[in-house]
Chain A
Amino acid sequence: MSERVAAPFGRRRCEVIANEASGGYEIVSALDSEGPEPAAGQFYMLAADNWGGPDGRPYLPRAFSVAAAEPADGGVRLGFLLEAVGPGTERLAALRPGDGLHLTGPLGRPFSDPAELAPGAPGAILVGGGIGIAPLAILRRRLASAGFPQRVLLGFRDREHAGGLELFDCSEVRTASEDGHRGHQGYVTDLLGVMLEGDVGAAGCVYACGPPAMLEVVRAMCAERQVPAELAMETPMACGFGSCFGCAVPVAGGGYIRLCVDGPVVRADELETALVAGSGH
């Protein structure tokens, strides 16, 4: 889990093999015939054929955590969880089987192995919010196949923003929703707070991905209880491989890291806050 997988040098064109609507999101799958199997937490820079449009946007590729990666006939089947919120995501979410998906990756620092993050931890808690549940899906599979116990807590805003649950093919998922349509009415961090009160939860480790406000609550909770945690973060980036210096995230002690090469997975105790200007857009 913890080894950064190097990407083939250069952008490559893959074929979209499925696009399934899921609770307001899309799960776009593509067959990557050249690429290696990514580590959980890594991401890809994505673009489509004829990127751009009448108004000249999107111009830059968009970064997406990989949600699923399975060996398939002729390569690796990659799955991405998308929500159409801007010119780039709208184009990607509209892709159909047979269309081209241009990708560079896998990129970035993946989730650490629990043995590295929290030696001796009896289990892990995975906390996801909204579209940010994506990298936790592949992490859960990897943890499960390694026989490592995990609990999954997922939160959503409302019925229109509550997809991708099928990527978690397990029964151990607990959910929260702000509108109460599913699971606990409230925030997923309410569930995390209860779990961290228990002895088992407090002895474990936490992996989280979601909107900045959620990540900040997770960070603060884990800091208070001294629970080792890793956060998969998001911020706009132009390149994804350390060249544009656009994805700066301030770290504890001053200065910035580049989220694309020093993240997107960051140890929670490296941060003073998970609220980063420009992220979540």
Chain B
Amino acid sequence: MHEFSVTSQIVQSVLAEAEKGKAKKVTEVHLIIGELTFLGLEQVRFAYEALTKGTILDGSKLVIKTQKGAVKCPNCGYKGGFKYEDDPLYHLKMPTLKCPRCNSLVNIVAGKECIIKRIKMMV
């Protein structure tokens, strides 16, 4: 949903870091994007390409790792993936806050992040 503005912040952060390191070129940027964010990877790539044109990031490799959503159950201690309600007929796959093991309410512990993990640059 906000790929362009979020990607713009990513590019700016990377540029600031590159400047700090006096880099001539940034060759790789590694992102971790959570499954529960509203960021479409296709759109992030598109925005990245457009936003890096003419900067020292131009032509750099964008590596995106998707972080699966994870929950923790305060009742039974379950830690792992979401319980999904699905209905293939309607292409429905709905994550729920129910524990897959005991059905109690769980807390989300991963999947909402959008992290610049590391960058590779040439000095």
A-B interaction = no
